[in-house]
Amino acid sequence: MKIVGVGCGPGMMTAEAVAVLRGAALIYGSARAIALARDALPPGCEVHEIADYRNLRSLPDHAVVLSTGDPMLAGLGYLPGDVVPGISSLQVAFARLKIPLARAAVVAAHGKDHARAVAGAREEVLLGRVVFLIADPAFDVKALAAALPPGTRLAVCEDLGYPAERIVVGTGAEPPAPRGDLFVVVAGEF
């Protein structure tokens, strides 16, 4: 099995990812991942939208599994097989905000306990790190802002890599608000 990162937005697949996909006969992915990879899929390739993520470990050895962004950043990199890295939302957000990746502390809140994620983000910010928080549509940016010192900078980065990309910077006292469901939050001194 190969797990291939397809990037976080259109045009963000690596040459290695494209080469693997062009040689694939059996592909699985989310609707979004399939859409991002569509132009690299060979004719006649069997493509399946993932219905049950619990069954991915039982896929045949020749299967290619698509992962949005990079498989090792809260993606499907836990699956057995080779991982082909992709351009992640972390890389894009930090590049757009001109923050060195070495300052990043990753906090996953997507599908997780949001209160625990907020507490973890606060701890990292107080240690001087710049938090990259992977959010889900229900994540409350105001709750994160309330847990941070009022002068802490916060950025909501939405639809990274897409034409509607939007990055809004505020503070703990005046946090930016997401408009859509596909967003991450960056918090700290930057």
Quickly name the fold that domain 2-87 has: Cobalt-precorrin-4 Transmethylase; domain 1 (3.40.1010)
Contacts of 175 (CB under 8 A, 6+ apart): 141, 142, 144, 145, 154, 156
The whole-number pLDDT of residue 111 equals 86
Q: Please state the pTM of the whole predicted model.
A: 0.94
As given in the structure block, the two tokens for residue 170 are 């505020």
pLDDT tens for the 190 residues of the chain, in order: 999 999 999 999 999 999 999 999 999 999 999 999 999 999 999 999 999 999 999 999 999 999 999 999 999 999 999 999 999 999 999 999 999 999 999 999 998 999 999 999 999 999 999 999 999 999 999 999 999 999 999 999 999 999 999 999 999 999 999 999 999 999 999 9
**Nearest partner of 141 among 130, 128, 129, 153, judged by Cα:** 153
The whole-number pLDDT of residue 59 equals 97
As given in the structure block, the two tokens for residue 181 are 């469901």
Domain ranges of the chain: 2-87, 90-188
How far apart are alpha carbons 75 and 71 in whole angstroms?
Answer: 4
- Cβ pair 22, 44 in contact under 8 A: no
How far apart are alpha carbons 86 and 12 in whole angstroms?
Answer: 8
**CATH 3.30.950.10, domain 90-188, yes or no:** yes
Q: 142-146: long-range contacts at Cβ-Cβ below 8 A with a sequence spacing of 24 or more?
A: 142/175, 142/177, 143/114, 143/115, 143/118, 144/118, 144/175, 144/185, 144/187, 145/170, 145/171, 145/172, 145/173, 145/175, 146/172
